[in-house]
Amino acid sequence: MSLTSVNPTSADPTFPPGFLWGAATAAYQIEGAVREDGRTPSIWDTFSHTPGKVLGGDTGDVAVDHYHRWRDDVRLMADLGLSAYRFSVSWSRVQPTGRGPAVQRGLDFYRALVDELLAHGIQPMVTLYHWDLPQELEDAFPSGSAAGGGWPERDTAHRFAEYAGIVAGALGDRVEMWSTLNEPWCSAFLGYGSGVHAPGRTDPAAALRAAHHLNLAHGLGAQALRDGLPGRARIGVSLNPSAVRPLTSSAADQDARRRIDALANRVFTGPMLRGTYDDDLLADTAAITDWSFVGDNDLRIAHHPLDFLGINYYAPAVVSAAPADAVDRQRADGHGASSHSPWPGADEHVSFHRAPGELTAMDWPVDPTGLKDLLLDYTAQAPGVPLYVTENGAAFDDVPGAGGQVHDPERIRYLHGHLAAVQEAIAAGADVRGYYLWSLLDNFEWAYGYSKRFGAVYVDYATQARTPKSSAHWYAKVAAAGELPPSPTLD
């Protein structure tokens, strides 16, 4: 088996002092207990219970029962030597319907979780939004609104700021690291464009409106956090920028790369890092929307100073100009099958191609060089802003052996290659301060249900028994040493 890799020998094998070794999860993917202690449905509850939306009819009703097993899960993290844990808060667990007062039972769960993490020397990072919008906000249709509810509706950004203030008030004395949003590209373009994620809408104009209101929500939420948190708090966002590469050096393929870079990356980094939408993005999408939903102060608000930037990375995108007779151009973008495109204004112009290299169980190519490229790119785009790899990992078809152990050498090779890429980026000047493996546990993998296993810890879904895989033990040793060992062989 051949995996694309960087050259780890060119970088110091040790990581910087204080480097955070973490793992990450998301509330709907692990918590379960969807009807307990006042929690109301999110858009993912509704979506997963809609026939045909999730493979096998799976739902997150139970997930991996983290809501009841959190103490054992924190003990597992401590046993693996993690120094950091990134988790998300379920909005509808702490503020049912997305409006009004908090439910203390929901907040108490997160208070207790954070206290347990700190007791084991594990630094929490709270993600306020990981795709589980309260369903009542999606259903809301304010008077005179043509956008429908949810993220295409401007009011949702203001509701998010209120929610951010609630969580800050509950956890601000315990938590120093805060991420407003996780992968807003997925929320906007998979949720409202292609429809393969909740809420499953397929309106390109709504997708662009959603993207803008997520930018606005980030800025409003960050300000609410600033107002409610101690001065030591660090506030950032976790994006999933795409390492977009042209298939050839032709001018047409370079323009295809530009179009996807605008929609995958600059639609968020423009407002967040520079306070603007680039002219080419506006021109590319002019036939879909006139962007009149952008308020006078919106971009200033979205351009809230960042204390850190989270980078989520899985695979690069390879694009070319689309021939006139191209069919199903979006199918090789790695974002699920749909007759609707998540690329408004670009799908008629761009074809996606699978990058070379070994594939994961998601059919995503393994290419650590994309992670290095992104870390260096955002070092240049956001000088002085520390970076964290807030998600990186791979799904493989993990199967317990006769003795119950789960041997996953492919994942070890994957992690080694990507950690080597982080080292090379640091050696080239990137200020990378931590790495969060996706994911701590096998879990509900969105529209793929329970068919894809990303976890370093194997979960038997019938019994909820947890078994650390070989990769978990390998990762623990790397974290303890703070040093990357020689490249492993694949056996």
Catalytic site residues?
Answer: 183, 391
Please tell me the chain's helix, strand, coil percentages from 3-state DSSP, rounded to the nearest 5: 40, 15, 45
The amino acid sitting at 435 is Y
- How many residues appear in the chain? 491
Q: Which of 216, 215, 240, 233 is nearest to 308 (CA)?
A: 233
Q: Which of 246, 245, 241, 248 is nearest to 263 (CA)?
A: 241
What is d(CA 103, CA 106) in angstroms, rounded to the nearest whole number?
A: 6
∠ CA 456-461-462, nearest 5°, is 145
**Residues 199, 153 contacting (CB under 8 angstroms):** no
Give 224's contacts (C-beta < 8 A, 6+ positions apart). Answer: 161, 162, 164, 165, 168
**Residues 334, 262 contacting (CB under 8 angstroms):** no
Give the CA distances from residue 454 to residues 124, 241, 270, 317, 449, in Å, rounded to whole numbers and listed in that order: 21, 20, 31, 20, 12
Instruction: Give one DSSP letter per residue of 278-315, joined into a string.
Output: -HHHHHHTTTT---TT--TTHHHHH-PPPSEEEEE-S-
Q: Which of 280, 364, 260, 261 is nearest to 322 (CA)?
A: 260
Give 51's contacts (C-beta < 8 A, 6+ positions apart). Answer: 57
The amino acid sitting at 154 is R
Give 50's contacts (C-beta < 8 A, 6+ positions apart). Answer: 200
Give the CA distances from residue 23 to residues 29, 88, 390, 476, in Å, rounded to whole numbers and listed in that order: 14, 12, 8, 11
What is d(CA 447, CA 357) in angstroms, rounded to the nearest whole number?
A: 25
**Collapsed DSSP state (helix, strand, coil) of residue 95:** coil
Give 21's contacts (C-beta < 8 A, 6+ positions apart). Answer: 81, 82, 83, 84, 434, 435, 475, 478, 479
Give 4: exposed, middle or buried? Use CB within 10 Å, 0-12, 13-18, 19+. Answer: middle
